Structure 1
């Protein structure tokens, strides 16, 4: 079979790691570096699959960034849309990233047995994700309207926000769910590491599908009376979905909804706060469209890297390979070294690809050096936060008897939605 360029790059990288490890072993120097390189070699399958998934994810979310850059006029015409966009993207990634993590753990524990009926492990997980999508679509609109009111930001009417959010959630959820099902089936056949590939690809699909879906949602806004009727009907249906989930007769669905809703409430808040930061920087972003293009791939990369860490920690907690301690133990720090590797490769790629896309489209840009400087500054800050948020989210939920798959990925991705925007803003202030 012909080798792909991506596989050649991964093979060359792992060969370089082996060569560096041999040199360090001969000279008996830098024992910590030797241990890290040894861990990377031991997890070379995860490294290859993770790098491949991040590459796919960054490429897809770069397209989402281009879409966001082209939405400048719509963002000005519909105040508040930029407040809702990061939250909607983050919510899709949180719900379906957690779904992918649960299914990946189910592969390891044998719960994912191939059945697809409503009572099966797969069926109950899909039902929970569907109910959570319906509830959180309205929740996002309510949080966005409330935060905008508190901060004095101009936004469209609440029922208009509900219509845009619900239509966007319905369309993008169908797309992301299809990708999750296809991915888990392929992972079963090919014996892929779902923890390494799931979150990057799912997050990327959420990014590229949610923005166009929100644009379609804006087309659904009708007259004042029509929007009010449709909007309040959606609110009633969301309340019914919440009751159906919380009181569901199927144990797995009920547990997922009960454990996920509080975390997804936090996700909504963090996503909306991230959107308000973007709204405050809207003039700067629109005047240098390359910065607007960089937002989705940077935030998606942060969430994907954190998702890989959370999913792996969750699986290792279930298997007893990581002990939930107040301070990370050696195996957890080794997982952190993988985060370092993925972050270095991911953020550098975001800077370079954003520059190339901006040049090709004629967008105003701070230049290649400026974009790499922005990504390096923002990436260092984000990388440290990703590790500590990911570790303590997974271990704390595990110690309190919760499923880390329901808590870790949504908590990490939603935190990085807001904090990542802050890190990116810091990079822009330094190099932009």
Structure 2
């Protein structure tokens, strides 16, 4: 800027103070106004993005609602199956199979929901419009998912049994329940067959849904694919696990080494699928780089399985409700995380968060009640958690004929599931932004760990809820339901009843 000096009357001949003519000052003023106008434009653009996202929240809720309700039926069916098969001979003789349940149900988060998130991002970016690319993406995605699912199916039993051994969970087992080499192989075979078959169905279904929703109906697949994966996945996984365990146990009694056959077959499938994915342009990098979140989530889910097995020995009515609370929590956080990942791919640069969403960590109040681009949907999802799950809790009561809908049980379950979803949505927001800021792709890394955490927190909150119910002598918190296989007589015992009987006898 040029300074124009006016004559000075300074008697000491000091350096005159520069002054500016009106012309230069007016230019400066115009320039300052231009800066302010530019800042206003940026603020308006930021607000426009936020407003547009909030306006799309209504459409998102409409698209999410039906698939989430459908997923609830899958979660409920899985809970009913688990509640039934826990009394089967194979599950009583090999109770370690229960440890597999959270990890195998979590495969939809480890593999299928991750696949869905990647395909959803590709669809929203227009990559699936090209037929050749679409075909390569589908083939590579199914191969990669099968490789990952089969490998996880082989590793999950080993980690689960290791965690159970470390915590001393096998010390109180009877002689016919203790593990030997052939039983360990049977558990591994059950896991790998269940994971492989369930993944083949789900990965094919996910590819079909993402392609059809984008090409034919122009619907955001981020909103519908993950809940549908959950609805089919939970039912298919529990069904395959129950049938496989029964068939292999029947074969085990005749030919103890029969479990080696499916393990060898699926080991070959794992290698073949990995080879195909490695030579596919769209999945070759993920074959070697996408394992860390899967292993971390597998460890978390096996911890959840150990908690489930431990508390089922005290409160076996938990079995029917555990897949419901875990499934809904995982579904809702997966939907939110997938949408955030797509948003970052659209408006952010690698390792840089968009100006409309610039912070990794924000306060919970600001997330749910602030003006950020994801807050309104997060608040709606957290408010939906309880009302969406209660109808399925009621259905479980009428189907199983064992749970009792006392007011304290309904309130306790409502509080537990709502807290779980609120905590998971906040963790999901921070975790996805953290991954993006440090250069990781949330589509590959976020959902496996978040759904595993949802399983863990769901099991913990549900167990705490049953402890509270037991403390207030609620009939649903029976310590154990003893089933006489010959007379089908069911007896329940609570801590309060034991103390009361002991007092009376004295």
TM-score interval (norm. to shorter): 0.7 to 0.9
Q: Cα offset for 1:167? A: 1.1
In structure 2, the residue matched to 1:131 is: 147
In structure 2, the residue matched to 1:264 is: 294
Preserved contact between residue 302 and residue 386 of structure 1 (Cα < 8 Å): yes
1:175 correspondence with 2:207:
no
For 2:330 and 2:132, the matched residues in 1 are separated by: 29
Cα deviation code 1:117-167 (max 9, x no counterpart): 897222222221111111111011211121122122236432111100011
For 1:217 and 1:350, the matched residues in 2 are separated by: 29
Q: Cα offset for 1:232? A: 5.6
1:425 correspondence with 2:463:
yes
For 1:275 and 1:78, the matched residues in 2 are separated by: 14
Paired residue total: 392
For 1:164 and 1:235, the matched residues in 2 are separated by: 11
SS state at 2:169 partner: coil
In structure 2, the residue matched to 1:159 is: 185
In structure 1, the residue matched to 2:157 is: 141
1:319 correspondence with 2:346:
yes
Q: Cα offset for 1:360? A: 4.1
Preserved contact between residue 393 and residue 407 of structure 1 (Cα < 8 Å): no
In structure 1, the residue matched to 2:14 is: none
1:215 correspondence with 2:242:
yes
For 1:150 and 1:118, the matched residues in 2 are separated by: 46
In structure 1, the residue matched to 2:82 is: 68
Is the alpha carbon distance of 1:37 and 1:284 closer, same or farther for their aligned partners in structure 2, counting shifts above 3 Å? farther
1:233 correspondence with 2:264:
yes
SS state at 1:285 partner: coil
Cα deviation code 1:341-374 (max 9, x no counterpart): 2232233332332123313431233x15234322
Is the alpha carbon distance of 1:164 and 1:252 closer, same or farther for their aligned partners in structure 2, counting shifts above 3 Å? same
Is the alpha carbon distance of 1:37 and 1:362 closer, same or farther for their aligned partners in structure 2, counting shifts above 3 Å? farther
Q: Cα offset for 1:267? A: 1.5
In structure 2, the residue matched to 1:57 is: 71
Cα deviation code 1:53-102 (max 9, x no counterpart): 21111122112111111112133232111100111010233200011111
SS state at 1:401 partner: coil
Is the alpha carbon distance of 1:122 and 1:240 closer, same or farther for their aligned partners in structure 2, counting shifts above 3 Å? closer
Preserved contact between residue 119 and residue 207 of structure 2 (Cα < 8 Å): no
Preserved contact between residue 131 and residue 245 of structure 1 (Cα < 8 Å): no
1:344 maps to which of 355, 364, 383: 383
* 5+ long unaligned stretches in structure 2: 1-49, 171-177, 348-353, 470-476, 478-506
In structure 2, the residue matched to 1:186 is: 212
In structure 2, the residue matched to 1:198 is: 225
For 1:405 and 1:194, the matched residues in 2 are separated by: 14
* 5+ long unaligned stretches in structure 1: 1-35
Preserved contact between residue 317 and residue 324 of structure 1 (Cα < 8 Å): no
Q: How does 1:99-118 map to 2 (within 5 A)?
A: 99-113=115-129, 115=131
CA radius of gyration, larger in: 2
Cα deviation code 1:256-308 (max 9, x no counterpart): 2333211110111111111111111113332x3xx322111111100001001
Is the alpha carbon distance of 1:116 and 1:311 closer, same or farther for their aligned partners in structure 2, counting shifts above 3 Å? same
Q: Cα offset for 1:37? A: 11
SS state at 2:314 partner: helix
For 1:226 and 1:332, the matched residues in 2 are separated by: 61
Worse overlay, 260-269 or 322-331: 322-331
Preserved contact between residue 163 and residue 227 of structure 1 (Cα < 8 Å): no
Preserved contact between residue 150 and residue 267 of structure 2 (Cα < 8 Å): no
For 2:427 and 2:239, the matched residues in 1 are separated by: 30
